[in-house]
């Protein structure tokens, strides 16, 4: 078992292997389809950063440097004092972000991605080069995971809607499992290959 605190170093990432259990601590950011598309179009592949986006760009560069992005569409509650509380924070299926993820990892110096279901070859390659890892969160445990969120610090792009906004959260002992590591090992890839072989065997 590993306990990691953001910002995470390259050495700590290289020390992780597929199958390892990790407890994450520190400030991370949620981001799903709308957030990834926005980051690619307005930051990663933009010819220039628009003036109205510069502050957010600089903030995300700071927040995500050595940190983790979480594929999550939370259920939130706004408290009387104006602050926010996560009621449920389960992982979203990650493969939808495959077209964006490698570029986002490289541009923001991410050290990890949290989600469910795993990702593809482009993300695995980025994990080897960066280095970074893919963390699998427990599906169906949204309320339990929300208990790991100790503070909602702020939210960006709330106009995308609550699930698609970029929530900046502090987590304490957030439980995840490494399923894609920086050494080119993907548990998801292995399971898919085994499943295809078994299917071929059954159909023979």
Please state which of the ranges 26-30, 66-70, 196-200 shows the lowest mean pLDDT. Answer: 196-200
- Model pTM score: 0.90
Strands 21-30 and 166-180, by their bridges, are antiparallel
> How many helices (H) and strands (E) in the chain?
7, 9
Q: What is the domain extent for residue 102?
A: 2-203
pLDDT at 145: 82
Q: What is the mean pLDDT of residues 182-190?
A: 85
- Pick the catalytic residue from 2, 17, 36, 183: 36
- Counting the structural domains of the chain, the total is 1
Model confidence at 90, pLDDT cuts 50, 70, 90, reads: confident
Cβ burial of 199 (10 Å; 0-12, 13-18, 19+) is: exposed
Tell me the per-residue pLDDT of 101-157, one tens digit each, with 9 for 90 and over: 999 999 999 999 999 999 999 999 999 999 999 999 986 667 778 889 999 999 999
Clarify whether 183 is annotated catalytic. no
Q: Which CATH number covers residue 62?
A: 3.20.130.10
SS3 26: strand
Tokens encoding 162 = 């609550």
Query: Would you say residue 159 has pLDDT above 90?
Result: yes
């Amino acid at each position: 078992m590993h306990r990691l605190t953001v910002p995470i170093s390259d050495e700590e990432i290289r020390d992780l292997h597929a199958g390892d259990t990790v407890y994450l601590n520190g400030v991370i950011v949620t981001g799903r389809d709308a957030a990834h598309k926005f980051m690619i179009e307005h930051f990663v592949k933009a010819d220039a950063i628009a003036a109205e986006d510069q502050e957010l760009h600089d903030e995300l560069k700071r927040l995500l440097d050595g940190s983790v992005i979480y594929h999550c569409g939370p259920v939130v509650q706004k408290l009387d004092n104006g602050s926010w509380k996560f009621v449920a924070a389960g992982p979203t299926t990650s493969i939808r972000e495959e077209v964006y993820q490698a570029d986002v990892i490289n541009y923001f110096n991410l050290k990890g991605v949290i989600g469910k279901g795993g990702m593809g070859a482009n993300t695995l390659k980025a994990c080897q080069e960066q280095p970074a890892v893919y963390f699998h969160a427990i599906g169906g445990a949204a309320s339990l995971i929300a208990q790991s969120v100790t503070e909602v610090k702020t939210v960006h792009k709330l106009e995308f809607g609550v699930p698609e906004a970029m929530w900046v959260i502090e987590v304490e002992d957030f439980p995840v499992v490494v399923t894609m590591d920086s050494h080119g090992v993907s548990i998801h890839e292995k399971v898919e290959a085994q499943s295809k072989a078994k299917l071929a065997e059954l159909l023979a």
